[in-house]
Structure 1
Amino acid sequence: MHADHHVQATDPILPSVHRRCSLAPPQTREKYLIGALALLTLAALFAPALPAAAWHIPHFVDTRPWLGVPNAGDVLSNLAFLAMGVWGSERLRGRNDAPVGASWFFVGLILTCLGSGFYHLDPDAPQRLVADRLGMAVAFAGFLGIAASERISTRAGEAVLVLMMVAGLLAAWVARENLTPWVAVQFGGMALAVGLALTRPRPGAVGVPLGGVIVFYVLAKLFELGDATIFEATGHIVSGHTLKHLAAALAAWPVIRALRDRRVG
């Protein structure tokens, strides 16, 4: 048994088989994915421009300082991203069965902590939004890579990870003047994630519950929209935007839980 296992592990035929699989004609789901990505690209490039100057920077209702930290609730709540990013990265150590994009997803959470915290220290400085969006773009690309690899194929996950990473980072930079690419990446990408969540996992998938991640994302958006309402309803204990950060960070929990359920022997 040991000798056979050694032969299989070092068999020179296996890399060539992997290359042939990677160059195989697209499967049905891969064709649908190519079509969806093409639509997103067309929307980002040719949809009417949304001038960044016309975008109203929201007034975050909780501006209370704490221990010298301005806007402490919205700044310090970003530590939840750091905690989940470090926790998830630790779960990946020693594993070879993690879905494509998982490591970038957790790295993106750590970068989101840094970028969003930097932005909320002085949210009236619009140039800080770039730092906020760059971390989000990395995390979002990682999640879509996970989704595509779980539901379609490994090579689909790799392609989506690279394409959405490049598109997200470029859109975050272009959003200083034109928000259209950023909107296409964020909302179009989430529509793609919902579509993937509604399909069956492929054989051999880790089993990441994509729907759970999406639920936390939607909850975070609702908290964001109810920033002032929640602040008043809780007697100024916590704002909706602070809760948004916590809910968005918890979106990593379904991924981390799936990694806990499978161990490498």
Structure 2
Amino acid sequence: MTEQQKTEQEKAGTRRGARRALWGAGIAAAFTAVMMAVTLPSDATGVDRPENKGAASSPDAAPSGAASPGADTAEQPAPTGEQRTGRGPLTATEVDRARTLALGRAPLAGARGVTGKPGPEYLDTDLADSAVPAGDEARRVEVLFYDYGADKLVMQTVNLTAGTVERTDTATGVQPPPSPQETTRAADLLVKSPEGAGLRADFKAATKGKDLTGAAQLLLQGISYNTAEQAGPASLSACGTHRCVRLFTQVKGGPWIDTTNLVIDLSAGTVGRIHP
């Protein structure tokens, strides 16, 4: 095994472990780890200023784990190639096949996506880590969706070797990190909301007069927000039951703007504040 392959497996194992913890007894610890891993730039205040609700910071500083310049919401692409065996990282072909098989499952037929369109919102696909009988070498993966119609997380365990969906698990109050599509939707809601006035003002100042009209003008990093594990005001008490997101925002080629005090409720399409 090459060093690159070892690195790929280590990264995949880390992602699997963090996501799987959300389904077990360690939900609170997992979310605390996620919050600690994504930190503000050292020169951002982290607090909205009364005179300007978005706090601009250095264009070169970035929160840990944030999207790199050149991508609105960065995601590591899957390796190329056809189906693999063993525990090697999933290929793009395998991810596409797993999604197709999972979407054919009856429990997802009435689900809704983040914009209200029919079909669940796709979140993630990764290798399954469930116990299997000795000698069973089937390639199994877990495909995560969010059903905005029922506000629940859905995990399909897909056997790629057999081409079947072996089980479906659902959970409420469990909030994995948002997908790029959810992050973009959250930013669009924020930009258009009254609570986004500070962001719009800071963007205009940073771009010498350009108006901020949508997520496409920003580099974004989203993190989930759940009041079951994170302190928050009564106005945000639905977060956790609802799908809620906080954002790190950066002007493309410009400074970061601190919007972490704002919470976007994707289920309700509203924006609130952690601190008044």
Structure (1 or 2) with the greater helix fraction: 1
**Structure 1 and Structure 2 fold alike (TM over 0.5):** no
Structure (1 or 2) with the greater strand fraction: 2
Q: Structure 1 length normalisation: TM-score?
A: 0.27
